[in-house]
Structure 1
C-alpha cells in the first residue's frame, strides 16, 4: 500500500499567510524522510485559509528542497487554464526534477461566484472536462497540433480527481482516479468503482488504479487525535455559516468559542467521518476503506493548527501504513 500526502498550504491564525508556503515545503521534507510516495499541493483562489493558488510554482520550490518524493497537484483545476499552459508548466517541472512529477487534474470552480467571475469561468460541463484532460495529455505526449516545450522532459503521469462523472472520464481515457470527500461514504461507491474498472480503456498499457483521498491523523489516543482534527473541521463548519473558509485556529480558542447548534452538529458529523485516532484505530479504519474500494494508494489530507503535532501524526501514519 502506497502512502502519499496532499498538503493544502493551510494558513494559521497568528502567522502571516505567506508562512503557509514555507510550512508546506518543510512538511514535504519531513514526509520524504518518513517514506511517503508523493507530495501533492492544491489550487485554490482567493480563499483566506489556503495560500496555494499556483501548484506549479510551489512544486518548483519544494522540488529544490527534496530529492526523491514525487511532486504533483491535487489538483490543477482545468476550467481555470488552457491545456497547453498546463502541459508546459508540468513539462518544465519534469525537466527540472526528472522522473518525479505527477499531474492531478480536477474541474472544481472558484469557491464563490465573485471568484468564479474573476477566473472567467462560471460553469464546467463534464463533457468539457473530459475534452480538456485529453487535450492536456495530447500536449504532454507530443500528439497535439502544436508542441509543448520542453518536449523531451519525459513522462508526466496524469491522475483524475473525480466524484461521479469524473470517474467516467478517467475510465474512458485510461487514467487513474483519485476519490475523496462525501463519495467515500456513499452506498453507491462500490458500484461506481466497479463501473470505472469495467469501462476502463487502457492507454499505453495503463490499468485501472484507485487512490483514496481522506483526512487522516494519528495520536496516542483517539481523543487526542480528534482534537487534532478539530481545527480543520471547525473551519469547514464555520465556512458554511460565514461563507469564508478561514485560517486554522488553536484548539483552546475553538473550545472557548460559542458554538451554534448547527455548528455543533456539523463538527460532530465531521469528526465522525475523519480517520483520526490511535495507530490501532486508524489502521482498522484504513483497512475497512481499502477493502471497500480496492484502492492501491492512500492520499492523506489531514491538517491541524499545531505543526509539531502534525509532523508527529504524519510520521506515525507512515508507520501505520507501512508497518
Structure 2
C-alpha cells in the first residue's frame, strides 16, 4: 500500500521540462520519440506545460533543436501548453527566433510558450561551432528586447508571422539574471537546486524590481526542480542516481554521457573525486515517498510563494519515471 499524505495538498500548477535524455543502449532518435510519447502521457495526467530544451554536442541529450521538437510535441497533443526551456538566445539571431515562434503560434494558437535562456555552449569546441563565445551571454538583455520587439512591431524589420502575435515569453535565470526578467516584465523560471537561500534572494529581488509590461502585469515565478516520487525512499533515491552520475562524469571528463542503469552505476568503482561529485549531484533534489515529497515541496512552495513548479526529473527507467510523475500528479492535481 502506498504511503499517502493525510489531508489533500492545495492545488498548484505542475509542468514538465524534458531534455530528451539518451539512455545507454538506446539511440538519440529513440530519445526524441520518447519525448513526444511522454508529452502525451503527462497531458493525460493533467500537467500544465511541457517544455523541451536546447543542448549542442552532448552525447547524453538529443534535444538540440527545441522549436522543431516543440512543433512535434504540439502536433501530438491537444491541450497541454508547449514550449522551450529554453531557446538559448546567445546562439541565435532574435529575428529568426521570433519567426520560428510566430510559425508555432500560428499553427498551435494559444498553446505556445517561449522560454529563453542566456547559456552558451558547454565546451569551447561547441561554442566555436555555433560561432559564439562566453561573452555573448552578456548580450542577452538587448537581444531579448529585440526579440520581443518583433512581436510588438517595434523593430524596423517586421518579423512575420510573429508580428502582432502573443506568444508567452519566460526568462530562465539564476542570480543576477532574475533582474533581467524583472526589467523586462517577464515571468521568471529559476532552479530550486542551486541553494535555497540564494534562490530566495533572487526571487525577492525579482519581485521587488519587477516592472509591469505588455507581457505580464505581475511577477510570476516558476520553480524548476527534480522531484522523484516512489513507494519507498530508497526507490525514489535510485531514480536520481543516473542523472547524478552523468553530472559527476561530465565534471571529471568534460562530456555529459547517456544515462546508465542505477545498478550499473552503484556497482562500479569511483575515484574519491568522482564519489564526492556524485554525492554532491544527489543533493538539493526533492525525493521520497508521497508524504515525504509533499512535506518537502510544500515547504519550498511556502518559502518561495512560487506560482508553478517545472519538474525536470529524468532517469534510466522510463516506467519508474512515469510512475513518479503520476504519483506527483495524484498529490497536487
TM-score, with length taken from structure 2: 0.93
1:189 corresponds, among 183, 194, 199, to: 199
Spell out, residue by residue over 1:14-73, the C-alpha distance to the aligned partner (whole angstroms, 9 max, x if none): 111211000000100000000000000000000000001110110111111100000110
For residues 56 and 124 of structure 1, the distance between their equivalents in structure 2, rounded to whole angstroms, comes to 24
The answer as to 2:213 corresponding to 1:203 is yes
**How much has 1:195 moved relative to structure 2?**
1.8
In the other structure, the counterpart of 1:70 is: 81
Post-superposition Cα deviations, 1:164-207, rounded to whole Å, max 9, x if no partner, equal 22111111110010000553x15333333222111111002521
Question: Is 1:281 the counterpart of 2:292 in the alignment?
Answer: yes
Match of 1:296 in 2: 307
SS at match of 2:28: coil
Asked if residue 32 in structure 1 is aligned to residue 43 in structure 2, the reply is yes
- More displaced stretch, 237-246 vs 123-132: 123-132
Between 75-84 and 262-271, report the one with greater CA deviation: 262-271
Report the CA distance shift for 1:262/1:181 in structure 2 as closer, same or farther (over 3 A): farther
Q: Show structure 1 runs of 5+ residues with no match.
A: none
SS at match of 1:298: strand
Residue in 1 that maps onto 2:5: none
Report if aligned partners of 1:69, 1:100 keep a CA contact under 8 Å in 2. Answer: yes
Structure 2 segments unaligned to the other structure (5+ residues): 1-11
- Report the alpha carbon displacement of residue 135 of structure 1 after superposing the two structures with TM: 0.9
CA displacement at 1:77 relative to structure 2: 0.3
Counterpart in the other structure of 2:189: 178
Structure 1 residues 214 and 182: alpha-carbon distance in aligned structure 2, compared to 1, 3 A threshold: closer
Instruction: Give, in whole Å, the separation in 2 of the partners of 1:70 and 1:220.
Output: 29
1:314 maps to 325
Aligned counterparts of 1:15 and 1:126: Cα–Cα separation in 2: 33
Q: Distance in 1 between matches of 2:196 and 2:241?
A: 23
CA distance in 2, matches of 1:191, 1:311: 33
- CA separation in 2, counterparts of 1:244 and 1:202? 41
Tell me, in whole angstroms, the C-alpha distance in 1 between the residues paired with 2:292 and 2:89. 37
* Cα separation, partners in 2 of 1:81 and 1:225, compared to 1, 3 Å: same
- Aligned counterparts of 1:11 and 1:125: Cα–Cα separation in 2: 28
Report the CA distance between 1:270 and its aligned residue: 2.3
Note the C-alpha offset of 1:208: 0.4
| Corresponding residue SS for 2:112 | coil
Q: Deviations over 1:219-250 (max 9, x none)?
A: 10111000011001111011111111000011
Task: Answer yes or no: is the 8 Å Cα contact 1:79–1:124 preserved in 2.
Answer: no
Aligned to 2:171, what secondary structure does the other structure show?
strand
Q: Are 1:98 and 1:153, in contact at CA under 8 Å, matched by a contact in 2?
A: no
2-structure distance, mates of 1:129, 1:46: 22
Match of 1:134, SS?
A: helix
Of 189-198 and 23-32, more deviation after overlay is shown by 189-198
Q: How does 1:47-196 map to 2 (within 5 A)?
A: 47-124=58-135, 127-151=138-162, 154-180=165-191, 182-183=193-194, 185-196=195-206
Computed over aligned residues only, the root mean square deviation of the Cα atoms, in angstroms, reads 1.4
Is the Cα contact below 8 Å between 1:49 and 1:245 reproduced in 2?
A: yes
- How many pairs were matched up? 321
Write the distance in 2 (CA, Å) between the matches of 1:213 and 1:151.
Answer: 28
